[in-house]
Amino acid sequence: MQDTELFMGLAGIAGVFVGFGALISVRAGGANDAHEVTYIRAVVTVAIWVVIAALAPVIVSRYGVTGHRLWAACSLLALVLLLGQWIANERTTESRELGAAWSRAQTIATVASYLGLMIPTIAALILVVLGLFPDQEPALYLTAVGLGLFLGAFSLLMLVFSQGPPPTASDPAELPATGGSSA
């Protein structure tokens, strides 16, 4: 397969996103509100999807599968996993709480941004599965994986911007506890 190194690099980048999501989730005792939990879950699940989608053609091609059969099988796997994780994430308690807490403008902006990446990703995968552009299948698949990486980056950015300001010294009750003793 021609783009093995590229797909391996994308999987590596997505692996870093998984690490960031895990690191953020365990900091200061873990995520404690619907915003944090929802965005951490999005970062991690999308990044894991990118890892799987990026590695799939590398692995499957080692079995001698080439051409449309390779790209269609990987696209079908990627499509099923993407839609499955999306549905699973949307059905969580935290996602429903977040949706209920948001204003209509926040909901529209976030959904539009998210779908702005999801729709082309899904479309690229469907085009490959249908075999409508056989000469472009590797490019369409790579586009879907790249958009998935952008989706993970967008989710990480949303997580960062959803954080409130750090507690101030003027309110000691909000400062994190330290392990040392005060003398």
Write the DSSP string, 44-70.
HHHHHHHHHHHHHHHHHHTTT--HHHH
Domain boundaries, the chain: 4-164
Residue 179 or 43, more confident: 43
Q: What letter would DSSP give residue 182?
A: P
Taking each helix axis from N to C end, the angle separating 137-162 and 4-26, rounded to the nearest 10 degrees, works out to 20
- Residue-level pLDDT at 179: 47
Indicate the pLDDT class of residue 174, thresholds 50, 70 and 90.
low
Q: Which helix (H) or strand (E) holds 178?
A: none
pLDDT in tens, 46-60: 888 999 999 999 999
pTM of the full structure: 0.76
pLDDT in tens, 108-155: 766 777 788 889 999 999 999 999 999 999 999 999 999 998 888 888
